[in-house]
Amino acid sequence: MSSNKNMAYEFNFDGLVGPTHNYAGLSLGNVASTSNANLVARPKEAAKQGLQKMKALHDLGLKQGVIAPMERPDVATLRRLGFTGTDAQVIIKAAKQAPKVLAACSSASSMWTANACTMAPSSDTADEKVHFTPANLANKFHRSIEHETTGRILQAMFKDENHFVHHPALPMGDHFGDEGAANHTRFVDVNSEKGYGKKGLHFFVYGKYAFDASKPAPHKFPARQTFEASQAVARLHMLDSDNVVFAQQSPNVIDKGVFHNDVISVGNGNVLFAHQKAFLNQMQVYTDLERAFDGEEFHVVEVGANDVSVEDAVKSYLFNSQLVTLPDGNMAIIAPGECESVPAVKEYLDWLVEQDTPIKEVKIFDVKQSMQNGGGPACLRQRIVLNETEVSAMNQNVIMNDDLFATLNAWVEKHYRDTLTEDDLADPSLLNESRMALDELTKILNLGSVYPFQQV
Ligand SMILES: NCCC[C@H](NC(=O)CCC(=O)O)C(=O)O
């Protein structure tokens, strides 16, 4: 039944930062989030920093797309929590009675689209369709309210049922805590004829076992992803078990602030770039990957703890870089500006590009507004592999190009505030501003009515 499978590409779909971007200290275990609580946020600057990164990757010749943000404050959730009256009254009451709950319902956290879902390309699935499972993000209340709208947005982007399968998020609760692609990497021999369209190897990393208390787990901070959740996603996506490797993150590094695997390792093509302390049974993980990888050579570029400490990795977000294959076949690291200000990391990167590895270049981006909430370049993107037929079948308005970049910049300029504090969240006009912006955005991106306020 396989149609003539054509060339496939890896897209980076970045989250557009929403108009309510703020610092509310909502994520225990995420050091930047808790230590920058109450900082004055700059939503307009945040959204523009994100757009600059998208445009730059597009200019490098990479495929780039954009994912729309959520409607925030989330009035529907506030109503479920007992706040009543008009939408404005709901916000005013919540601000007075439960300001922290209002802040949680106002977070622009959907910008980190690495956590939006896990996807599997049609080359890897038994039914030869592209599969998506939105992440339930069960561990953090402010993120657990994202998945329904995320699912609607993904369906509005990838509608054609002949090619795209959309699963609901896994059941809520700690046992099936799922954080999406922040804990999932697909390796593939990009030098093969089919490029990203060759059958790939799915690497699922979890923080703990939910149904086996005898297994090691972190003590101080939560493990957000469970083994059972990763297994469920692999099942839903109909992956061949020969093409799947599961690995447990080191509980010690979770306790040092590594709340997702993409804070301590990143992979692309035939390369795993990882810190020496990333995994439990690290050597076994390398052996499993090397054995399961279908291709000429699998490279592990390991960063020693003596060169870069776990603390410096968390501070700089070295591993939250994007590792991309440029059109000339070389790989580049798309790193956050903070990598330049942590001396050990800067020194390491200067040294790395001189070595005989596939990684030849480092490109630095300023995403500081997102970084201050614990989101680096890799958190801001969801990787989606599509062949040419699937690219033609998807919503074309979400693909980045010079026109869309200009349109979205003007849209941000028109609708976003320069600054936002937690106190500003009590202002009901923020909701109206946000809805007006999103209503316009759904037209720009041709999404239809994906937001609750558009469905009444
Ligand atoms: N992949 C990066 C995710 C960062 C995100 N931060 C936040 O939600 C912080 C929001 C705040 O504290 O205002 C998180 O921890 O899930």
Rounded to 5 degrees, what angle do the CA atoms 376, 377, 378 make? 95
Which conformational region is residue 248 in: left (phi greater than 0), alpha (psi within -120 to 50 degrees), or beta?
A: beta
pLDDT of residue 194: 87
Domain count, the chain: 1
ipTM for the complex shown = 0.99
pLDDT, mean of residues 60-78: 98
pLDDT, mean of residues 11-34: 97
For residue 373, how far is its CA from the centre of ligand 1 (angstroms)? 5
Nearest CA to ligand 1 atom 8: 109
Rounded to 5 degrees, what angle do the CA atoms 181, 135, 363 make? 30
Query: Cβ distance 254 to 218 under 8 Å?
Result: yes
Ligand 1 atom nearest 375 alpha carbon? 2
Q: Tell me, yes or no, if 379 is annotated catalytic.
A: yes
Question: Which residue among 10, 45, 179, 338 is the active-site one?
Answer: 179
Strand order in the sheet with 331-336: 322-325, 331-336, 359-365
pLDDT of residue 3: 45
97 in any annotated domain:
no
pTM: 0.97
Task: Report the mean per-residue pLDDT for the chain.
Answer: 97
pLDDT in tens, 187-205: 999 988 888 999 999 999 9
pLDDT, mean of residues 131-141: 98
Strand order in the sheet with 271-275: 265-268, 271-275, 299-303
For residue 433, how far is its CA from the centre of ligand 1 (angstroms)? 23
Tell whether residue 31 is among the known ligand binding residues: yes
pLDDT, mean of residues 52-61: 98
Pocket test for ligand 1, best of 20, 67, 109 (most atoms within 8 A of CB): 109
Q: Is the pLDDT at 1 greater than 60, yes or no?
A: no
pLDDT, mean of residues 298-320: 98
380 in any annotated domain:
yes
- Alpha carbons 204 and 183: distance in angstroms, whole number: 6
| Pair of tokens at residue 407 | 């349109």
Q: Percent of the chain scored above 90 by pLDDT?
A: 97
pLDDT, mean of residues 67-77: 98
Q: What is the CATH number of the domain that holds 432?
A: 3.75.10.20
pLDDT in tens, 413-442: 999 999 999 999 999 999 999 999 999 999
pLDDT in tens, 257-303: 999 999 999 999 999 999 999 999 999 999 999 999 999 899 999 99
243 in any annotated domain:
yes
CB of 25 within 6 A of ligand 1: the answer is yes
258 in any annotated domain:
yes
**Contacts with 82 (C-beta within 8 Å, 6 or more apart), sequence order:** none
The conformation of residue 320, written as its DSSP 8-state character, comes to G
Q: Percent of the chain scored above 70 by pLDDT?
A: 99
- Alpha carbons 385 and 378: distance in angstroms, whole number: 16
pLDDT of residue 5: 56
pLDDT in tens, 370-410: 999 999 999 999 999 999 999 999 999 999 999 999 999 99
Range of the domain at 286: 8-72+107-454
| Pair of tokens at residue 123 | 């080359």
CB of 425 within 6 A of ligand 1: the answer is no
Q: Is the pLDDT at 456 greater than 80, yes or no?
A: no
1 in any annotated domain:
no
Nearest CA to ligand 1 atom 2: 375
CB of 374 within 6 A of ligand 1: the answer is yes
Ligand 1 atom nearest 374 alpha carbon? 4
- Alpha carbons 333 and 166: distance in angstroms, whole number: 31
Pocket test for ligand 1, best of 17, 23, 30 (most atoms within 8 A of CB): 30
Amino acid residing at 149: T
Q: Is the pLDDT at 306 greater than 70, yes or no?
A: yes
User: Kind of pairing, strands 130-134 and 117-120?
Assistant: antiparallel
For residue 243, how far is its CA from the centre of ligand 1 (angstroms)? 31
pLDDT, mean of residues 37-63: 98
417 in any annotated domain:
yes
328 in any annotated domain:
yes
99 in any annotated domain:
no
Tell whether residue 401 is among the known ligand binding residues: no
- Alpha carbons 250 and 283: distance in angstroms, whole number: 13
